[in-house]
Amino acid sequence: MTSPRLIVPFLIALVCSLAIGAEPIAQSPDALLDGRVMGVCYSGFRAGQHPDRGDGAVNPTDEAILEDLRILLRDTPFRLLRLYDSRENSETVLRLIKEHALPFRVMLGAWLQAEVNNPDCPWKPEPFTDDELAANRLANRGEVGHAIRLANAYPEIVNAVAVGNEALVVWNDHMVPVESVIAYVRRVRAAVAQPVTVADNYDWWARHGKALAAELDFVSVHIYPVWEERDIDAGVSYGIENMQRVRDALPDARLVITEAGWATTANEFGPRATEAKQARYFRGLYDWARDMNITTYFFEAFDESWKGDPNSPGGAEKHWGLYFEDRTPKRLIRTLTDEERRAD
């Protein structure tokens, strides 16, 4: 007998697809990346570690990364990983996967820094100087080159390249003009065999994404109902509404969700952020994504305390992991059934 838990997300999607003027969200099975429904976002920075924030990176060791990968293999169905840049830490992840013959496939990122100032950024950072913006443009060209090199060096592991992450949406602090993103995409597509994409918020894709989507092999969408003041009862249904907007705007695009998650602690969310709600959101999202044939990367594998305000240990940015920073599993991982561990 089919569980009611499996039926509800499908019925919600069906109602959305039958709405007047709505394009059907469901895709054919060959739209899945590597035939898999769920992946997970990963960077692996532990306490005291961080990417380069202007004073150099403090990266995880080989031993720590290998431990993480083996934890994911042991405890979860995730065999798709998403990395956010093409720097030393990401190269180490790829090298260890290859050296130890681990069964992961990786969406590699090219992290783009600000090329213009964004006065609409809500936390109002100091404007970049002209010299800083020029340096960022040079760094971005180098980052794209690193992504090309790694994609070609690890063709059996890298299954896609994402050029930029939330560099277009109106509230970001690392804005890149869409014309520049398109130029970077064209450079990568000419140099690698893997599919090429760009990852950004659903609202940007729905409002402005048509020209960029035409340049891509698939469109990578971020949805975060909890950031938009939804509690768990509306979590999956609101995300489906988000995806419906993208589908209506881009009816011919192949869609992948490259970020969707639920924080377990957050000053910003109060009681909406709990381990139980994260587990419920994951299961509902998985059921829907499976029925729609939309590969979905859950955000994220492990808590990362370097993120967000260093003076706010309870800030949401630090607490999206399925594991705590010390690698202790949260409720979802502790309660996965054997069937769910093998589900993907």
Please answer whether residues 220 and 199 qualify as being in contact, where contact means their C-beta atoms are separated by less than 8 angstroms. Answer: yes
Task: Give the whole-number percent of the chain exceeding pLDDT 90.
Answer: 89
Domain that holds residue 165: 4-341
Instruction: Report the DSSP beta bridge partners of residue 220.
Output: 199, 256
Give the three-state DSSP class for 222.
strand
Please answer whether residues 289 and 341 qualify as being in contact, where contact means their C-beta atoms are separated by less than 8 angstroms. Answer: no
The residue written with tokens 């569980």 in the block is 3
Q: Averaged over 244-256, what is the pLDDT?
A: 98
- What is the rounded distance in angstroms from the CA atom of residue 118 to the CA atom of residue 322? 32
Using 50, 70 and 90 to split pLDDT, how confident is the model at 10?
A: very low
Q: Averaged over 262-282, what is the pLDDT?
A: 98
Please answer whether residues 239 and 279 qualify as being in contact, where contact means their C-beta atoms are separated by less than 8 angstroms. Answer: no
Using 50, 70 and 90 to split pLDDT, how confident is the model at 343?
A: confident
Instruction: Report the DSSP beta bridge partners of residue 94.
Output: none
Using 50, 70 and 90 to split pLDDT, how confident is the model at 3?
A: very low
| Average per-residue pLDDT for the chain | 94
115 pLDDT above the threshold of 50: yes
Asked whether the bond before 300 is cis by omega within 30 degrees of 0, the reply is: yes
19 pLDDT above the threshold of 50: no
- What is the rounded distance in angstroms from the CA atom of residue 266 to the CA atom of residue 227? 10
- What is the rounded distance in angstroms from the CA atom of residue 116 to the CA atom of residue 133? 7
Strands (E), 24-142: 38-41, 80-82, 105-110
Specify the number of domains making up the chain: 1
pLDDT digits (tens, 9 = 90+) for 151-192: 999 999 999 999 999 999 999 999 999 999 999 999 999 999
Pick from 259, 260, 261: nearest CA to 320: 261
Both tokens assigned to 228:
């938009």
The number of CA neighbours under 13 Å toward the Cβ of 40 is 26
pLDDT digits (tens, 9 = 90+) for 55-79: 899 999 999 999 999 999 999 999 9
CA-to-CA separations, 38 to 2, 79, 341, 342, in angstroms, rounded? 20, 8, 11, 11
Q: Averaged over 80-109, what is the pLDDT?
A: 98
DSSP 8-state class, residue 127: P
pTM of the model: 0.94
Using 50, 70 and 90 to split pLDDT, how confident is the model at 21?
A: low
pLDDT for position 7: 46
Which CATH number characterizes residue 99's domain?
3.20.20.80
pLDDT digits (tens, 9 = 90+) for 289-309: 999 999 999 999 999 999 999
pLDDT for position 304: 97
140 pLDDT above the threshold of 80: yes
pLDDT for position 344: 79
The dihedral sign for the CA sequence 327, 332, 337, 338? negative
